[in-house]
Amino acid sequence: MPGRSLVEKIWDQHVIARLSEDTDLLSIDRHLLHDLGGSRGLLDLKSRGLKVHNPELTFATPDHALSTAPGRAGTSKIGQELLAALRTETAASGITLFDVDQPGQGIVHVIGPELGLSLPGATIVCGDSHTCTHGGLGALAFGIGSSELTHVLATQALIQKRPKTLRARFEGKLPLGVTAKDMILALIGHIGAAGGTGYAVEYAGSAIRALPIEGRLTICNLSIELGAKIGMVAPDETTFEFLRGRPYAPQGEMWDLAVKAWRELPSDPDAVFDREVVIDVEKIIPQVTWGISPEHVVGVDGVIPDPKTVDDPARRAAIETALEYMGLQGGAPIAGTPVDWVFIGSCTNSRLSDLRAAAEVVRGRKVAAGVRAWVVPGSENVKREAVAEGLDKIFIDAGFEWREPGCSMCLAANGEVVAPGQRSVSTSNRNFVGRQGPRARTHLASPASAAASAIAGAIADVRMMGRQ
C-alpha cells in the first residue's frame, strides 16, 4: 500500500462516519464566522429550533461589511445591522467575538493564523472561499456556502466528498523582486483557473520550504483561483516557530504533544498524487493580470495577448471580451498602463510582511499625481505592529491613505469601490468583472509591484525601482 499524503492523513483522522465510497462525515475543528454570513447562519439555526453544537470551537469577527474609514465612519446602515446582529447572536450562543477596535479583530483569514486558532492538522471551515488560506499552516481548510455553514453550526461536522490530490512543486531559488504572490499567479497562468477543480493542492518543493509562513498563506489563499477549494503546505520548523506562543496555540506540555503529532503529518515519501506539476521559480518574474480571470496573467515585462494571433475561436473570443472590459489593446506592453487606484490589502496580502515589502518601495517617494492609493491592514494587531514600526508614517508621507482593518476594496461589500471605468492595481485575489465595483478594472499584483505602480502612476516593474 502506498504512503499517504498530507491531506489524506488529516482527512482520515477526521472521519466520523463513512457515508459512501468517496463521501465522509468529517469532524470540524474550527468554524470561523464573519459579519456577512455569520448572524444569518445563527438565525437560520434558531429558526430550526437548534443550538450551536460546539460554540467553543466557533469564532467570529466583523470584516466584510465594515467600513475601513477612520472611526469606521461610512459603515452602511445594513452593515451596522449585520454587526449588531453578529454581536447579539454570538453572545446568545456563547461564541467568542473579536469585535471592532479590539486586538483579534480583522480579516477572518488573517486573524486565524495570527491568534493561533489555525493549527496544523486541523479542519477549518468558514463561509468564505478564501478559507484555503489557513492551509499555509498545514491545516485542511476550505470555504463553504450558507447551507453548509448552518450544517456545521448544528453538528460540528460536514458531509464532504474526498478530493483528488495535486502536488505543485516549486523548485529553485526565488529571484529578487519576486514574491509568493508571483509564484501562485504564475501557477494559475500555467494550469488555468480550473486547473485545480476537484483537487486538494499540496504546495511543496524547495521554494515553498524556504518561504516564511505569511508567504505560504498568500500561496494557499489563491488556491480557489486555481479552482481548488483546498490548498496546503506541510508543517515544518518554520510553522512551529510561527505558532509558538500565540494565544490560542497549545502551551507547555500540550505544545510538545502537539508538535510531536504535527511532525507525522507531512506526506510520506511514497505518497501518490493524482496530478503533479513542477514550477521552476528561477524563471518567474513579477506577475500582473491583464484580464478578468486570475489566469489572465503575464510577467510585468510581457505583452497583453493579441486575439488576432489566437487560432482557437473560444480562446480568441474570451480574450476579446476581457480586453473590451479592461479597455486594453492586445499586443501592447502591460507595463506603463496608467492606473487610477492602488489597493494594498485583503486576505491575500495585508499581513505585516506585505506592508513592510510595500513600505520598502514607497519610503521617501510620492504617489504619482492622480493616483489614489490605500493601505488596509489585515487586522487590528497587524495595524498596531505596523504603526509601532512607523510603516503608517511611510505610507502617509508618500500620499497613501492608511485605513482601519477589514476586507475593504477587495470585494467592495461595504461601499468602498473603484469608480466605473477606473483602473486599479490591487494586491487582492480576484480581477473578476465588477469585483472592485461596477465596471472597475482590476490588475492583480504583489504588494511590492502595487507600491511601485502607485509611485509610477502606471503598472510598473518593481525590479526597475532599485529596491526590493
Partner 1 sequence: MPKPFDKLTATAAPIMRANIDTDVIIRIERLVGNSIRGTLGKWAFGSLRYLADGSENPDFILNREPYREAEILVTGPNFGCGSSREGAVWSLQERGIRAIIGSGFGDIFFANCFQNGILPVLVDKAVVDQLAADIEATQGAGKVSIDLEAQTIVSPSGARHSFEIDPRRREGLLKGLDEVALTLQRDDEIHAFQASDRTTRPWIHFQKTAASRTPVSRTSA
- Nearest CA among 295, 292, 290, 293 for reference residue 305: 290
Task: Tell me: does residue 72 bind partner 1 (CB under 8 A).
Answer: no
As a three-state string, the secondary structure of 320-381 is HHHHHHHCCCCCCECCCCECCEEEECCCCCCCHHHHHHHHHHHCCCCCCCCCEEEECCCEHH
Here's the x/- map for partner 1, 329-368, by CB under 8 A: it reads as ----------------------------------------
Task: Tell me: does residue 74 bind partner 1 (CB under 8 A).
Answer: no
Residue 286 or 345: the one with the smaller Cβ distance to partner 1 is 345
Phi and psi at 267, nearest 5°, equal -55, 140
Quick one: angle between helices 146-155 and 38-47, nearest 10?
Answer: 60
- Nearest CA among 238, 217, 32 for reference residue 132: 217
Here's the x/- map for partner 1, 27-66, by CB under 8 A: it reads as x-x------x--xx--x----x-x--xxxxx-------x-
Task: Tell me: does residue 290 bind partner 1 (CB under 8 A).
Answer: no
| Structure-block grid coordinates of residue 7 | 491531506
* C-alpha to C-alpha distances, 450 to 113, 453, 459, nearest whole angstrom: 24, 5, 8
Total chain residues near partner 1 (CB under 8 A): 105
Task: Tell me: does residue 148 bind partner 1 (CB under 8 A).
Answer: yes
How would you classify the pairing of strands 230-233 and 157-161? unpaired
Task: Tell me: does residue 392 bind partner 1 (CB under 8 A).
Answer: no
- Cβ 408 to partner 1 shortest distance, Å: 12
Residue 424 or 453: the one with the smaller Cβ distance to partner 1 is 424
Task: Tell me: does residue 157 bind partner 1 (CB under 8 A).
Answer: yes
Binders of partner 1 among residues 111 to 140 (CB under 8 A) are: 114-115, 119, 121-122, 127-129
Binders of partner 1 among residues 195 to 234 (CB under 8 A) are: 197-198, 224-225, 227-229
Task: Tell me: does residue 385 bind partner 1 (CB under 8 A).
Answer: yes
Binders of partner 1 among residues 427 to 466 (CB under 8 A) are: 430, 432-435, 438-439
Here's the x/- map for partner 1, 246-265, by CB under 8 A: it reads as xxxxx---xx-xx--x----
- Cβ 441 to partner 1 shortest distance, Å: 13
- Sign of the torsion formed by the C-alpha atoms of 394, 397, 401 and 403: positive
Cell 450551536 found at: 52
Region binding partner 1 by CB under 8 A among candidate stretches 143-151, 213-221, 276-284, 354-362: 143-151
How would you classify the pairing of strands 401-402 and 58-61? unpaired
In eight-state DSSP terms, residue 400 is P
Task: Tell me: does residue 161 bind partner 1 (CB under 8 A).
Answer: yes
Task: Tell me: does residue 8 bind partner 1 (CB under 8 A).
Answer: no
Task: Tell me: does residue 419 bind partner 1 (CB under 8 A).
Answer: no
* SS3 call for 386: helix
